[in-house]
Amino acid sequence: MLDNVTKRRIDTARDILVGKVPDPKSQVEQITIALIYKFMDDMDAQAEEMGGKRSFFSGEYEKYGWAKLMSLGTGGHEALNLYGEAITTMNRNEGIPPLFRDIFKNAYLPYRDPETLKSFLKIINDFEYDHSERLGDAFEYLLSVLGSQGDAGQFRTPRHIIDFMVEVIDPKKDESILDPACGTAGFLISSWKHVLKANSKDGRKGAGLTPDERKRLTENIKGYDISPDMVRLSLVNLYLHGFTDPHISEYDTLTSEDNWNQYSDIIMANPPFMSPKGGIKPHKRFSVQAKRSEVLFVDYIAEHLTPNLDFHVSN
């Protein structure tokens, strides 16, 4: 359960941004980038406490460390320039894992007001990285501000609908799970939580899984999305729920054949039910002749289930 203090922090961060970044989706992206930035510095600090070395903010990136941004000796415009430069170049930092480089891909600072940034980073500074479910719950709360309807017919499935579908399907620890239009990874996160709960031990979720079973489970949970912004949010969402190497790909499920020969035991999705003018131009491997995205997604799901298994589509 997410505490009220964390909710207020997230709401305050959005309130600070709203004058400069009016679009809710952009607000979520800016908060996401800032949180990961802060958490990378937290992990560097934890490594140093354990006798290790900094890896995220080292070498030429050392000057971008969180302490430098928050220092009283760093002026507003200097902090603005440091932070803006850091988030636009972090995807080229070879000292950090590919996951983090992907998160910062195409990141940028959409405003140039030092006072806004100062107030915003002050709120972000109150968050600390840990391995509890709290951060994942906080991020899901942040994602809820995206609302029920997004762009191009994309709908964010309500949490209670997602959880109900997952409970009915009842995924198991050894089953592969795919969402071919994953958005922010809601179905994948709910499936992960469901399997952990089903394998509880001594009141601890997932304690009944061996390390190999847990690793295999994370490898078996996969998602595709055509939007790089949604891929970024999915990667962060899964990471904050315990996935060190989430399998989310920027991929056009309807027009690309690259993953056509890959099958999954369970496929859940709430795909976009809107097609561009003139319809989708799919490749030739679909079993139906159609240009409407909803028809093509249903056919894709049916064609990519492991034989003799079921599929489920939210609507």
In tens, the pLDDT along 136-152 reads 888 989 988 776 445 44
Q: What is the pLDDT of residue 153?
A: 45
- What Rg do the C-alpha atoms of the chain give, in angstroms? 21
The ranges assigned to domains in the chain are 4-133, 155-304
DSSP structural state of residue 204: B
Phi first, then psi, for residue 268 (nearest 5°) are -125, 140
User: Where do the DSSP E strands lie in 210-252?
Assistant: 221-225, 247-250
Question: What is the CATH code of the structural domain delimited by 4-133?
Answer: 1.20.1260.30
In tens, the pLDDT along 243-288 reads 989 999 999 998 889 999 999 999 999 987 766 555 677 777 888 7
Strand pairing class (221-225; 247-250)? parallel
Q: What is the CB-side half-sphere exposure of residue 313 using CA atoms within 13 A? A: 16
Three-state DSSP class for 308? coil
Three-state DSSP class for 84? helix
Q: What is the pLDDT of residue 294?
A: 83
Q: Which two tokens stand for residue 113?
A: 């007001």
Query: How far apart, in whole angstroms, are the C-alpha atoms of residue 27 and residue 8?
Result: 15
In tens, the pLDDT along 218-254 reads 999 999 999 998 999 999 999 999 898 999 999 999 8
Tell me if domain 4-133 and domain 155-304 are identical in fold: no
User: Where do the DSSP E strands lie in the chain?
Assistant: 177-179, 221-225, 247-250, 266-269, 312-313
Q: What is the CB-side half-sphere exposure of residue 157 using CA atoms within 13 A? A: 28
Question: What is the CATH code of the structural domain delimited by 155-304?
Answer: 3.40.50.150
In tens, the pLDDT along 13-62 reads 999 999 999 999 899 999 999 999 999 999 999 999 999 999 999 999 99
